[in-house]
Structure 1
Amino acid sequence: MELRHKGLLYIFISLVAAATITIITKIAILHGGNPTKILLLRFVIVVVFLFGYMQAKNISWRTSRKNFFGLIGLGFAYVNVSLLFFLSMKYISPSLGGVILYTYPMLVSILSALILKERFTMPKTMALFF
């Protein structure tokens, strides 16, 4: 498979997964699922998949100490964002949750401009709206 086609396939799968996560989570909660248990199951499935992928592709788990602690921090942040998002599905609709969650690129761009003094370039502006 051509690299370009492979990239398009990967982004399409990612798009479908991201678009359905709110709906699947809401359905699970409506059927008595606990947001914490749903999130735990999600992460267990991901670990199993990634472990198999890394084994199949012969990718090493080794990383530097600096990267290790950075990854722990990012993991902690991601777990908390995901947990809060899943908990919110008990109270709001999946469409509202999705809209709120996926406005983060715009918030990051605005905060980067205000705090880090990054410039808003035309490509960045276009990417935010299209």
Structure 2
Amino acid sequence: MNTKVKGYILGAVAAATYGMNPLFTLPLYKEGMNPDSVLFFRYLFAIPILGIMLKARGRSFSLKRKEILPLVILGWLVAISSLTLFQSYNYMEAGIASTILFVYPILVALIMAVAFKEKITLQTVLCIFLALSGIGLLYKGGDGTTLSLVGVGLVMASALSYAIYIVGVNRPILKDVATLKVTFYVLLFGLSLFLVRVDFGQSLHVVDKWYLWGNLIALAIFPTAILGALEPVTAVFFGVTIFGESLTPRLCCGIVLIILAVTFIIAGSNITTHLVRFRKLFPRLPIKKKGH
């Protein structure tokens, strides 16, 4: 198996794991945990894991003064994105929420056009139309009821926050910072938001069953900030097979339209460079030759 094929496989696995968010989160909600408590533990457990990875790769934890404020802002953006997504699970089926979230690359393209004067092509316009058509098909749930406007608003806020993060993390001020270090500090600063929201531990919900701790640890390990084309598919799969969420032909068409729209906009746009930064998360380690 050549390196390129391995890269595609690893990228697909990384993308699919983000769809495991509902798999580990919904059982915690069932036991009375709220999004703030779940995300507090998710970030708390993920930080030392990333720290170990950072140290194992010989990376320094040091930051330049000019890099601190941008990383704080990016941390809050990611935390807001996580919070609004996890809150949306209380208003709609998790698979549908994850699919609507997937419009974030289109929002990246719009931000680049508005803020950085990049040209909006006909292909981008068509992709936006496809995505809106897909969301329109998803608007009415599988049981015939319409989606919660609050839920849709929360997911769109999550997608927008993540899109702004994607644009921000690729600005020149952070271009020389290793992606793994960026992720470490983004989670570290993002944790501060949840620390405040749980009243510095006063309103933190702590689970009392051992297997629920496994869910929290799994949330820290498997789903990461990496999103990809398999993410909504994975979320829908777990939603239907494990949590009994409905899946109709109309919903399938909506999901396919959104995935096609995002795939086309990534394939035919220079925002691809903004979306592949995660590939540097696992750089190839130098191999020492014998005798050196």
Task: Say which SS state the counterpart of residue 20 (structure 2) adopts.
Answer: helix
Higher helix share: 1
> Counterparts in 2 of 1:60-79, with a 5 A limit?
60-79=60-79
Return the alpha-carbon distance in structure 2 between the equivalents of residues 68 and 45 of structure 1: 22
Higher alpha-carbon Rg? 2
Look up the match of 1:45: 45
How big is the shift at 1:123? 9.1
How big is the shift at 1:13? 3.2
1:54-78 C-alpha deviation (Å, 9 max, x unpaired): 1111110112111111111100111
The gaps in structure 2 that reach 5 residues or longer are 128-263, 269-292
> Counterparts in 2 of 1:93-104, with a 5 A limit?
93-104=93-104
Q: Is the 8 A contact 1:85 1:97 kept in 2?
A: yes
* Distance change in 2, residues 1:81/1:116 (3 Å): same
* Percentage of matched positions with identical amino acids: 25
Q: Is the 8 A contact 1:22 1:97 kept in 2?
A: no
* Distance change in 2, residues 1:6/1:87 (3 Å): same
**Normalized against structure 2, the TM-score is what?**
0.39
The gaps in structure 1 that reach 5 residues or longer are none
1:74-93 C-alpha deviation (Å, 9 max, x unpaired): 00111111111111111211
Return the alpha-carbon distance in structure 2 between the equivalents of residues 59 and 123 of structure 1: 40
Structure 1 vs Structure 2 CA RMSD: 2.7
* Distance change in 2, residues 1:71/1:2 (3 Å): farther
Task: Say which SS state the counterpart of residue 61 (structure 1) adopts.
Answer: coil
Return structure 1 stretches of 4+ with deviation > 6 angstroms: 122-125
Return the alpha-carbon distance in structure 2 between the equivalents of residues 91 and 110 of structure 1: 27
* Distance change in 2, residues 1:22/1:118 (3 Å): farther
Return the alpha-carbon distance in structure 2 between the equivalents of residues 102 and 63 of structure 1: 32
Look up the match of 1:26: 26
Between Structure 1 and Structure 2, how many residues are aligned? 130
Higher RCO (CA 8 Å, separation ≥ 6 residues): 2
**Normalized against structure 1, the TM-score is what?**
0.81
Q: Is the 8 A contact 1:112 1:118 kept in 2?
A: yes
Task: Say which SS state the counterpart of residue 19 (structure 2) adopts.
Answer: helix
| Counterpart residue identity of residue 113, structure 1 | A
| Counterpart residue identity of residue 11, structure 1 | G
